[in-house]
A and B are shown apart, each in its own frame.
Chain A
Amino acid sequence: MFALAAPTIIDNLLLKFFSEQTVNYVIWPLIQVGLVVVITTGWVAYATYLERKISAFMQARLGPMRVGPWGLLQPIADGLKLLTKEDFIPENADRWIFFVAPYIAVVAAFITLAVVPFGPDWAVITDVNIGVLFVLAVSSVGVLALILAGWSSNSKYALLGALRSSAQMVSYEVSMGLAIIGALMFARTLSMSGVVGAQASDKIWFFFYQPIGFVIFLISGIAENNRAPFDLPEAESELVAGFHTEYSGFRWSLFFMAEYAAMVVVTAVATTLYLGGWYFPFVYRFTEARGYHTAYVVISLIVFLAKAGLLLYLYFWLRWTLPRFRYDQLMDLGWKWMLPAALINIVVTALGIGVVQGLDGVRGMHTIVSISSGLALTPTGKIITVGIGIANLFLTAGILSLINWRSRDFNLKKQRRQIRLVDLPKGKPAVAPVETVSEARP
């Protein structure tokens, strides 16, 4: 109970030393930021541990077991090792860009967390009213880091990795941004907390309204994060380590952290937009719980992290199951499949909302509760919207196959062949001495 009452106690303590305004607008935000950074860094560190354990579980082995019980201290040992390693800079590298690039990557990944609502009240650092736009804008800065790193290394593998990453991120950002629009139509706001609130007031996850949007967002998110099966910029077996081939020690670990932090961001945004954010599944009444406010915030945080963790598990699962795409196939997928699907999704969602609104009041049908905080629908309205979402799955599949019916990828299953088995006749005995005897003989 003491721990839960801590914020009030600290608040009173701070007020003795600082003015109320300083406490409210400087010190508490700083504490919040510190908390979020520390928690995210820990989450990132243990995401690597989890990934190693989960991949081990999939590959019939144990994973890290030596450092601490079940290898729990492995991330700390890794971090210490990386900190103490030599910071190597290639002779012909562009020194300053080489220095700066990893920081851009980390900053771009972490700064997005400023608008992610981890929970209610103090668990969100700031609620910008264009939060979703902010996330999209800042996360696309991350690509700069990769390009700079690849270019400044003055290495061919790094350059190829940088070229790939720029092309890849630009193509997938488009469909990622378009996929979100569907959810925003229901939320009627760009604020991240607002989206969560809209799902709470409608008492449904936007995942059910937007199955296609969710899938496109996740796939584009994986591609945006350069994770397998889209890990072309750092494709280990082709480009050694891609854009960070020449990096070592702590600078390398910054890239590593940036990658995992970006993963955390994408899963967090997906949770916020599609999986009801920090609300406990199907229970939306605790909002008014008084007296236990801090406990409520902590539980919400845990719920949020659990939801994001499930999506993170999906990331790991895909990574350790699927082979890697080729560069041109990745572009095909982005422009021929993801982008049209996102566009179809927008059109169908808009039409669907129009239909639901139009049906309101027709023959005593009642579909809309209110549009003050997002689009709150009655059960009838929900059934219609979910139905349209499911119909959209088939519609999108149909249109995509119409667009791509001639492409190579679409017809791969047909090209799959069975091999022939032949029973060859058995021949003569094995060795026959060669007739000619060579002339030169000692």
Chain B
Amino acid sequence: MHQVEIATTRQSLLDAPEMTLNMGPQHPSTHGVLRVILKLDGETVIDLDCDVGYLHRGMEKIAENRMYTMIAPYWDRLDYIAAVSNGLVWVETVEQMMGLDVPKRAHYIRTILTELNRIASHLLWLGTHAMDIGAVTILLWAFREREEILKIFERQFGARLTCHAWRVGGMPNDAYDGFVEDCQRFVDNFPKRLDEYETVLSENRIWLSRTVGIGIISGEDAIAIGLSGPALRGSGVAWDIRKSRPYAAYADMDFEVPLGENGDTYDRYLVRMEEMRQSRRIIKQAIENLPDGPVNAKVPKLIKPPVGDYYHSIEGPKGEIGCYLVSDGTQQPWRVRVRPPCFINLQALKQMCIGHLVADVVAIIGTLDIVLGEIDR
């Protein structure tokens, strides 16, 4: 914070005019169409404002005019990097409203695929974050691993990025032949690759000097803003919905939650790297204990949940992705509301950036791991 004081004093003494810099919506590292209005003194950020909404598609309003099963594909497009996780929160909410009893095998396959999706999302974060800080090679390496995951998705769902993964009450198909083998191969190869990435970054002096102490946010502030996911755990707050309110098959899984200390960019980096290792561990357990049986519950032809308000949330790759549904007893929801992790995480940007340099703004946007599709909805 002392940097802020220096910046403001200098300005009052020299009366230097501040410069307003529009970063985005066309900018290589605002991860889409985010517009950040920076007020600069030299290169020091003295004020910052985010302008969002360039990708607004009216998801929530569209959802009010669709039947419950028809909304699910829209839901996948919220955070297109993590389509599988997004789809899961919708179908699980509807299942809970209907009181459906989803078979265990479906739960296990859901766990495997969402964890694969978490790894894919974190790999994309790693690549783009490293590229924002200047290490371009990591991006291509991360994409190489992500490709393996996308291949599994393609075989299972028929699509790579915007895969419509689930149906209310279970899965559209059982796992394809060779699913377990593919996952097993990925699980075997992945740690080596992850170690490679860590060799290039974790001990790298430039990486350390670019991330340690940058974008600090304390645990209290993080809770006050409502951060979730790795951004919250990087500040040392032990909160993971997979643990606190287990969904899918997470109650059966044995895994640990990584926690940071200072809440700076480096801590968040370490937390995400460790989360990938833990995800691999979950996948490994799930494919070892994958039960047999059906993958679909008995679902009524017409989905008409009882009247009421429902909220369900899961631990998405970016944080707590939630779904608030108001049912009036018809085939269409009366009101739908997303609890968007990226949108809420983005609110911490101002607090993290002020007093830092322009280069750090880019690093902090990267560490928040935002996806504009979900922020603008």
B172, CB-defined interface residue at 8 Å: no
B340, CB-defined interface residue at 8 Å: no
A320 to B308, CA, bound (A): 56
Say which one of A97-105, A293-301, A346-354, A409-417 lies at the interface with B. A409-417
A399, CB-defined interface residue at 8 Å: no
A420, CB-defined interface residue at 8 Å: yes
A323 to B261, CA, bound (A): 24
B19 touching A156, Cβ below 8 Å: yes
B261 touching A417, Cβ below 8 Å: yes
Residues of B within 8 A of A236 (CB): 28
Residues of A within 8 A of B130 (CB): 323
Residues of A within 8 A of B267 (CB): 417, 419
Partner of B308, one of A322, A429, A437: A437
Partner of A434, one of B244, B246, B310, B357: B310
Q: A240-B27, A417-B270, A438-B309 are in contact. Are A55 and B243 (CB under 8 A)?
A: no
A324 to B309, CA, bound (A): 49
Say which one of B46-54, B206-214, B219-227, B341-349 lies at the interface with A. B206-214
B279, CB-defined interface residue at 8 Å: no
A328 to B251, CA, bound (A): 48
Write out, one digit per residue, whether chain A residues 400-442 have a CB within 8 A of any chain B CB (1) or not (0).
0000000011001101111111111111111101101110011
B247 touching A430, Cβ below 8 Å: yes
A424 touching B244, Cβ below 8 Å: yes
Residues of B within 8 A of A327 (CB): 43, 357, 359
**In the complex, how many angstroms separate the beta carbon of B284 from the nearest chain A beta carbon?**
16
Most B Cβ at <10 Å: residue of A323, A329, A431, A433: A323
Partner of B309, one of A320, A425, A436: A436
Write out, one digit per residue, whether chain A residues 303-342 have a CB within 8 A of any chain B CB (1) or not (0).
0000000000000000011111111110000000000000
Question: Closest chain B residue to A434 by CB distance?
Answer: B309
Say which one of B136-144, B181-189, B286-294, B367-375 lies at the interface with A. B136-144
| Interface residues on chain A, size class | 35 or more
A52 to B58, CA, bound (A): 42
**In the complex, how many angstroms separate the beta carbon of A343 from the nearest chain B beta carbon?**
23
**In the complex, how many angstroms separate the beta carbon of A435 from the nearest chain B beta carbon?**
8
Partner of B243, one of A58, A328, A426: A426
Residues of B within 8 A of A431 (CB): 92-93, 96, 247, 310-312
Residues of B within 8 A of A441 (CB): 307, 328, 334
Residues of B within 8 A of A419 (CB): 258-261, 267, 270-271, 274
A237 touching B43, Cβ below 8 Å: no
Partner of A415, one of B208, B243, B257, B360: B208
Residues of B within 8 A of A437 (CB): 307-309
A322 touching B326, Cβ below 8 Å: no
A401 to B312, CA, bound (A): 55
A409 to B206, CA, bound (A): 9
B15, CB-defined interface residue at 8 Å: no
B247 touching A422, Cβ below 8 Å: no
Residues of B within 8 A of A408 (CB): 209, 213
A428 touching B245, Cβ below 8 Å: yes
Interface positions, chain B 192-212, Cβ under 8 Å from A, are: 200-210, 212
Write out, one digit per residue, whether chain B residues 322-357 have a CB within 8 A of any chain A CB (1) or not (0).
000010100000110000000000000000000001
A237 touching B362, Cβ below 8 Å: yes
A427 touching B258, Cβ below 8 Å: no
B180, CB-defined interface residue at 8 Å: no
**In the complex, how many angstroms separate the beta carbon of B216 from the nearest chain A beta carbon?**
12
Q: A326-B357, A438-B309 are in contact. Are A430 and B137 (CB under 8 A)?
A: no
B238, CB-defined interface residue at 8 Å: yes
B132, CB-defined interface residue at 8 Å: yes
B29, CB-defined interface residue at 8 Å: yes
**In the complex, how many angstroms separate the beta carbon of B304 from the nearest chain A beta carbon?**
15
A420 touching B258, Cβ below 8 Å: yes
A425 to B335, CA, bound (A): 34
**In the complex, how many angstroms separate the beta carbon of A163 from the nearest chain B beta carbon?**
8
B358, CB-defined interface residue at 8 Å: yes
Q: A229-B206, A426-B246 are in contact. Are A324 and B134 (CB under 8 A)?
A: yes
B244 touching A238, Cβ below 8 Å: no
Residues of A within 8 A of B70 (CB): none
**In the complex, how many angstroms separate the beta carbon of A297 from the nearest chain B beta carbon?**
39
B135, CB-defined interface residue at 8 Å: yes
A428 to B134, CA, bound (A): 43
Partner of B137, one of A321, A325, A425: A321
B96 touching A238, Cβ below 8 Å: no
Partner of A427, one of B97, B236, B245, B266: B245
A82, CB-defined interface residue at 8 Å: no
B210 touching A429, Cβ below 8 Å: no
B307 touching A61, Cβ below 8 Å: no
A416 to B134, CA, bound (A): 20
Partner of B200, one of A321, A328, A428: A321
25 pairs from A and B in contact (CB 8 Å cutoff): A55-B137, A59-B137, A60-B141, A232-B359, A237-B132, A239-B358, A325-B209, A325-B210, A326-B359, A327-B43, A327-B359, A409-B205, A409-B209, A412-B212, A415-B208, A417-B270, A419-B267, A420-B258, A420-B261, A422-B238, A425-B243, A434-B311, A437-B307, A437-B309, A438-B309
- Extra A-B contacts (6), CB below 8 Å, given A419-B274, A423-B257: A323-B135, A412-B212, A420-B258, A425-B243, A431-B311, A437-B308
Chain A positions near chain B (C-beta within 8 angstroms):
55, 58-61, 156-157, 160, 228-229, 231-232, 235-240, 320-329, 408-409, 412-413, 415-431, 433-434, 436-438, 441-442
